Each structure stands twice: as C-alpha cells, then as structure tokens.
Amino acid sequence: MIVDVLTLFPELFPGPMSSGVTGRGLAAGLITLRIHNLRDYTHDRHRQVDDVPYGGGAGMVLKPEPIFEAVRARTGRGPVILLSPQGERLTQQLVRELAANDDLYLICGRYEGVDERVAAHLVDREVSIGDYVLTGGELPAMVLIDAVGRLVSGVLGSEESPRDESFAEDLLEYPHYTRPAVFEGHAVPEVLLSGHHAEIERWRRAQASERTHRRRPDLLRHRER
C-alpha cells in the first residue's frame, strides 16, 4: 500500500512508524510512505500556507490553493482523506474499508482550521480519531496508518495475524496471561493451565463478553449476534 501524507511538518515522519510492526512493513516495502511538504505547493516569496479567517476571529486558516494543487498532483487513485475533529470517527470497520485500497492520500490539518472548500470539494472523506482536539492532523494520520498498515497483507507475521475475528470482532479482548503461573500471590486462572482447548475457548468467549458488557455496553448495541 502507498500512503501519501500532505503536511506542514514533514520532519515528524516516519517518527514512531519506523519501529515495530509498521517499521517492518515499511522496510519490507509492503507499505510505502511518501511525505509531501505543503509549503512546496506555494508560489509566493513567503511560502504562505495560511491566512486570516473571513468574518474575523482568532487563529489562522489553511489556504485552499496549495492543498488543491498538491492533491491534483498526486499519482494514486485511492481516497483523499482530511484528518480533522469534524470527521467521521475512525473505527475498526472504517480501518478495514480503508485497508482495501492500494493507496491513500492523507491531508493533515493545522492551525485553527482548513478552508472549508477543501472538505466540501476536494476530499473523499473527513476522518477524526476521537472526540478530542489535537494541534494537528499528523498524529491522527500516524494512528490511521498504524491501524490500516497492520491489515496490509504480510505486515503481521502469521503469529500475530488479526486473530479470531469470528468472535473477537466488536468485543473487547479476553484477558491474557504468561508465566509465571503465580505472580506475587496472584494465580493464572486454572482453566488456562488445563490444556483443555474447548474449555479454554469457552472461558475466553465468556470473559470477552462479560468485559464488553461491563466496560463498553455501547459496542454490544451494534452487534447482531
């Protein structure tokens, strides 16, 4: 998968994405990151990317022209996505949908906002990573790339592959344990030491379900099963 990122802070990339699973995916060429500096799409002496808001008010707004020019120069055919707190929420469902593309073009917003004509007339989707306001779209872009990248074929080893999607989907995970069997007086649940695979499976399902009911009942309302 090829991911283009348009940003005012190209030096932030690849950042945390150079480690771990995503780092391996990048090194293996399974994911290709192409970082574009928004300032490279300006034509004035000051390379100005923002301007004062029409109607007044605090802060600056990213100008439409450099963003339109950058996106129109792209080579990919996949969706163009603006990261912003106004977008649809990033969920695992949306992550799966995005992972089906050969390429993505991500636009990182900054300052007080982005000229609305970008959202209205240029991008295919506007995506938020949650109901809180960050200083820009760069961290959200990295979150999206991390989540989508791990679904790109070959990025996860067979050991790690998106597991047990049949029942784990839309449920929180069951509890995991490793050695020692007793740690500071706290024992691992007996069933996990039993070697009885069907019982272990049953216990894990029950745990996942009970946890989800208790901590995230909102997840169950969307569930048909």
C-alpha to C-alpha distance for 205 and 105, rounded to whole angstroms: 38
b/e sequence 44-72, b meaning 16+ C-beta within 10 Å:
eeeeebbeeeeeeeeeebbbbebbbebbe
Report the residue number, 58 or 182, with the smaller CB distance to ligand ADE.
Answer: 58
Report the residue number, 8 or 129, with the smaller CB distance to ligand ADE.
Answer: 129
Task: Work out how close the CB of 112 gets to ligand ADE at its nearest, in angstroms, rounded to a whole number.
Answer: 11
Report the residue number, 113 or 174, with the smaller CB distance to ligand ADE.
Answer: 113
Residues 6+ apart with CB under 8 A from 87: 125, 126, 127, 128
Name the DSSP letter for residue 188. Answer: P
Task: Work out how close the CB of 137 gets to ligand ADE at its nearest, in angstroms, rounded to a whole number.
Answer: 4
Task: Work out how close the CB of 114 gets to ligand ADE at its nearest, in angstroms, rounded to a whole number.
Answer: 10
The residues that touch ligand ADE, with contacts defined as CB under 6 A, are 83-85, 109, 128-130, 132-134, 136-137, 140
Residue recorded with tokens 């490793």: 178
Task: Work out how close the CB of 219 gets to ligand ADE at its nearest, in angstroms, rounded to a whole number.
Answer: 20
Q: Which residues pair with 51 in a beta bridge?
A: 61
Report the residue number, 82 or 208, with the smaller CB distance to ligand ADE.
Answer: 82
Q: What is the dihedral of CA 72, 15, 131, 88, to 10 degrees?
A: 30
Task: Work out how close the CB of 147 gets to ligand ADE at its nearest, in angstroms, rounded to a whole number.
Answer: 13
Report the residue number, 108 or 171, with the smaller CB distance to ligand ADE.
Answer: 108
